[in-house]
Amino acid sequence: MDVSKTKSSFYRRLYVAYLIDSQLASSVPALTEATGMPRRTAQDTIAALADLDIACEFEQETGARNHAGHYRIRDWGAIDREWIAANLATIKQVLGYP
């Protein structure tokens, strides 16, 4: 299936935001494990969530060192989280994720 880079990038951002919000994968190591994407791609995708007006913040664990903590979605902006949940199988298929 041929998918444009724009669509795959958009779906990747939606999927990463969904994983973070669902607490299925709310750190870079957890995202790389859940999706198989490289660490740098996971970091870049988290940073790019702001382009979709998805507010994602890092929460440092109390007393932890070396940026130990997790991400949390504060606001979905214009994105409908329920649409992502309803279309999760298609999103994962387009991206080739397990």
| pLDDT tens for each residue of the chain, 98 residues long | 688 999 999 999 999 999 999 999 999 999 999 999 999 999 999 999 999 999 999 998 877 666 678 999 999 999 999 999 999 999 999 999 98
Residue with tokens 């130990």: 68
CATH fold of 5-95 reads Arc Repressor Mutant, subunit A (1.10.10)
Domain map (residue ranges) of the chain: 5-95
The answer to whether residues 95 and 8 touch, using CB atoms and an 8 Å cutoff, is yes
Span between the terminal Cα atoms of the chain, in Å: 16
> What DSSP state is assigned to residue 73?
E
